[in-house]
C-alpha cells in the first residue's frame, strides 16, 4: 500500500476511498440498477455511473468529515423534520435548534471536496485562496462566523418528484452578487448558494445564511429557481446531442 498526501491534514498516510458527494444525498434516486444519477452539463454529458469515489483522505480525516456528514444526514436528509422544528415564514420556512458548528462545517465540506477531485465525471471547481482557508476550518473544526463562506438554501416551488436525488455539482455563479463571487449546488430540489469572498461582513443577504443561533432559513426560489432549471436543462440537452 503506497502512502500519499491526505488532502485535509496534509500528512503522508494511507488513504481511504471516499465518495465525493456523501452517499445519503443520492438516496432518493438510487434506482433499480443500483446506479446513482448525477447530472453534469457541457464538458461531460455522462449522466449515469456508480457512486463516484476517490482516495483523498486518511482514516482520521475521513472520521472528521464523517462526523459533519452524519449530523447533516440525520438532521436534514434522513429523519423527517418535525412540525415543531419548522416555522413557516413569508418567504419560506425556518428550521430551528440545529448545531451551527456541525452543519456549517458540513456545508463547507460539500463545497470544498469537489475542488479536490481528479475524477473527470465531476468538474473540478477552483476556490482560489479560499480552498486553503476552508481546509483549515474543516481540520480545526472551526465553522467561522455565519457570514464567512455563508450558504443560503432555497427550494424550487412545486418541484416535480423527478428532481429528487438529482445533484448538480458546484458551478460558479454566472454573475457576482453585490460584487461577491459564489457557487451553486443543486441537491434534490434545493439550491445551495455559497458566497466565496473574504469581505462578506457587509453582505446584505447574510440573514439568509445558517445562523449561529442554530436557525436555518430556507426560502422559496420562485421563478428564479425555475428559470435556472430551464436554462440548465437546455444546456444538458445540447450537450447530449
Q: Would you tell me which residues interact with Zn ion (CB under 5 A)?
A: 6, 8-9, 58, 61
Phi, psi of 132 (to 5 degrees): -70, -40
Nearer to Zn ion, 9 or 239 (CB): 9
Residue 6 CB, shortest distance to Zn ion, in Å, is: 3
Measured between alpha carbons, how far is 46 from 38 in angstroms, rounded to an integer? 9
- In the complex with Zn ion, which residue's Cβ is closer, 59 or 235? 59
Please identify, using beta-carbon distances, which residue of 9 and 131 lies nearer to Zn ion: 9
Residues 6+ apart with CB under 8 A from 69: 22, 24, 106, 109
d(CA 206, CA 63): 30
**Helix%, strand%, coil% for the chain, nearest 5:** 35, 25, 40
Shortest spacing between CB 164 and Zn ion, in angstroms: 33
Other Cβ atoms within 10 Å of 24 Cβ, number: 16
Closer of 12 and 91 to Zn ion (Cβ) = 12
Minimal distance in Å, beta carbon 181 to Zn ion?
Answer: 28
User: Minimum distance between the CB of residue 117 and Zn ion, rounded to whole angstroms?
Assistant: 17
Amino acid at each position: 500500500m503506497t502512502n500519499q498526501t491526505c488532502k485535509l491534514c496534509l500528512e503522508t498516510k494511507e488513504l481511504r476511498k471516499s465518495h465525493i458527494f456523501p452517499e445519503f444525498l443520492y438516496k432518493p434516486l438510487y434506482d433499480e440498477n443500483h446506479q446513482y444519477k448525477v447530472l453534469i452539463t457541457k464538458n461531460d454529458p455522462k449522466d449515469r455511473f456508480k457512486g463516484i469515489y476517490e482516495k483523498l483522505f486518511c482514516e482520521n480525516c475521513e472520521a472528521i468529515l464523517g462526523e459533519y456528514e452524519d449530523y447533516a444526514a440525520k438532521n436534514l436528509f434522513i429523519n423527517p423534520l418535525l412540525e415543531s422544528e419548522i416555522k413557516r415564514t413569508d418567504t419560506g420556512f425556518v428550521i430551528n435548534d440545529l448545531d451551527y458548528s456541525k452543519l456549517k462545517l458540513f456545508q463547507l465540506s460539500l463545497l470544498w471536496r469537489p475542488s479536490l477531485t481528479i475524477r473527470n465525471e465531476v468538474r473540478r471547481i477552483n476556490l482560489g485562496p479560499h480552498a486553503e482557508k476552508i481546509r483549515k476550518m474543516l481540520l480545526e473544526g472551526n465553522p467561522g462566523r455565519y457570514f464567512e463562506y455563508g450558504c443560503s438554501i432555497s427550494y424550487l416551488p412545486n418541484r416535480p418528484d423527478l428532481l429528487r436525488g438529482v445533484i448538480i455539482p458546484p458551478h460558479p455563479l454566472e454573475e457576482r452578487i453585490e460584487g461577491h463571487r459564489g457557487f451553486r449546488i443543486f441537491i434534490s430540489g434545493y439550491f445551495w448558494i455559497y458566497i466565496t469572498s473574504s469581505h462578506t461582513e457587509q453582505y446584505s443577504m447574510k440573514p439568509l445564511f445558517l445562523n449561529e443561533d442554530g436557525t436555518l432559513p430556507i426560502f422559496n426560489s420562485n421563478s428564479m429557481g425555475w428559470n435556472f432549471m430551464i436554462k440548465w436543462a437546455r444546456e444538458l440537452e445540447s450537450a447530449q446531442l
